[in-house]
Amino acid sequence: MKKRLEGFIYIASDYAASAMAWTLFYIYRVKVIEPAKYGYSIPVNFDKNYYIAIIIIPLFWLAIFWLFGSYKNIYRKSRVKELGLTFTLTFLGTILLFFILLLDDVVDSYQAYRYTFLTLFFLQFTLTYVLRLTNLTRIKRNLKNRVIGFSTLLIGNNKKALDLYQELEHEKYSQGYKFIGFVSINNEAAPPLANYLPRLGQYKDIKEIIQRNDIEDVILAVESAEHHLINDIINTIEETGASIKIVPDMYDIVTGTVKMNYIFGTALIEVTPEIMPLWQINLKRIFDFTISILILAIGSPFYIALMLAVKFTSKGPIFYSQERIGKNGHAFNIFKFRTMYLDAEKAGPQLSSKDDPRITKVGWFLRRYRIDEFPQFWNVLIGDMSIVGPRPERQFFIDQIKAIAPHYTHLLKVRPGITSWGQIKFGYAENVQQMVERMKFDLLYVENMSLSMDLKIVFYTVLIMVQGRGK
């Protein structure tokens, strides 16, 4: 609750700063710019246009700041980095406002345009950053004084883990870790760390322990003899979305991007799973949301025709729902137009094949043109899926894939999609080996995600649908 309140205060402060900046800018235009144009003093009159702007302009700034990630993880923000980000985004936003609202102003000279731009930029930047600096300083102070913190799990039950725990706990200024307990690597009956923290289980149960205890940070402190377990542990943690940190001497065994996240106190290395810049992630979500609404609304007559075709050509419901595993291991129900006869899986989970007798005549048509996937735009709309992303699988098949390719868990770092690179290459997989082959392309997508990549995949998906090459 304390963290949510801080987040609300941070956003409300930005709104207030933008409202104050626009009010002062409005007064500046009335008292400085307009008298220079008309040759006489003009009284300040807060008219209807001002009151409309005082609502809309701050919302514009909040949208700009949100799009570029200003409101993500405010408790981990650097005040220096926030200075640079605020400066850049304020400059960008001021340019947009200038060309949208201010360029048409009639002024006495072009120099007035320069003063107008610089004044708006200075007011917006100064007021925004002063309030942000105040809020971040208060948050940092609360973190250092252990008023707020991140629920933390320590992995390891050896001397290294004990030393790390004691070092972090005895720091004069906390880094924000609130230890909930530890997970043991071996079966030692009474590890020294148990005198300070509760043992929550063994490393094989990490995923369940993290989810049950709402763990935000996981710190790995294992001995050299236990290094062979690191990849499996990290893969499992990545399914949960928890932040992963390790002690520096493990740097050489960790692949991917890492960064030091703290200057003073105990040094830890953070494994950063950021795949796309945050502004692209937000634009991707806006794109998903907008396209889903358009397709669900515009395509409604077409959907009705499909629903009638499914309903009157075979017994059973129109829609088919099945549990799949999504981002961070979250289970959700995926929706499709039903393409198979009833009780198609009465013998247990099965993948479809090229000449699958369980598929109805209408089902063959729907699958060929990928129309059976259209109800999943509802999954996209509510946030379970994205338009482009690795296809979600059932836990039954995920377990089999992971037995062959443990790195499948990397796909769970992102929202699953209606279409994917693997899907346009392979279509529907007929066995686990094909699922593993398709996974290779989805892994390449995850490691190279971008908006341009999404647009290419959407283009080729539409091409496959038009040509009826789905399988």
Buried-state track 111-130, b at ≥16 Cβ within 10 A, e below 16: ebeeebbebbbebbbebbbe
Q: How far is the C-alpha of 250 from the C-alpha of 224, rounded, in Å?
A: 8
Cα–Cα distance list, 462 to 7, 120, 145, 283 (Å): 41, 45, 55, 21
Cα–Cα distance list, 63 to 118, 132, 135 (Å): 21, 16, 20
Q: What angle do CA 113, 119, 43 make, to 5 degrees?
A: 85
Which pair of structure tokens corresponds to residue 244?
A: 């992963």
Quick check: helix, strand or coil at residue 349?
A: coil
pTM metric for this prediction: 0.72
Give tens-digit pLDDT for 81-140: 899 999 999 999 999 998 888 776 666 677 778 888 999 999 999 999 999 999 999 998
At 225 the pLDDT is 60
Burial, 463: exposed, middle or buried (Cβ in 10 Å; 0-12, 13-18, 19+)? exposed
For residue 49, what are the contacts with CB-CB under 8 A and spacing of at least 6?
A: none
At which residue do the structure tokens 């345009």 appear? Answer: 113
Give tens-digit pLDDT for 16-66: 999 999 999 999 888 887 766 666 777 888 888 899 999 999 999 999 999
At 120 the pLDDT is 94
Quick check: helix, strand or coil at residue 68?
A: coil
At 253 the pLDDT is 44
Q: Judge whether 331 and 420 are in contact, CB under 8 Å.
A: no
At 181 the pLDDT is 92
For 4-49, the DSSP string reads: HHHHHHHHHHHHHHHHHHHHHHHHHIIIIIHHHHHSS-------HH
Longest dimension (CA), the chain: 88
- Residues facing 182 on adjacent strands: 154, 199
Q: Which residue ranges of the chain lie beneath pLDDT 70? A: 1-2, 35-39, 104-108, 223-228, 248-267, 272-274, 469-471
At 188 the pLDDT is 72
Q: How far is the C-alpha of 238 from the C-alpha of 406, rounded, in Å?
A: 12
At 326 the pLDDT is 93
At 256 the pLDDT is 46
Q: Judge whether 430 and 471 are in contact, CB under 8 Å.
A: no
Quick check: helix, strand or coil at residue 314?
A: coil
Q: How far is the C-alpha of 455 from the C-alpha of 20, rounded, in Å?
A: 40
Mean pLDDT taken over the chain: 85
Q: How far is the C-alpha of 207 from the C-alpha of 145, rounded, in Å?
A: 30
Q: How many residues does the chain have?
A: 471
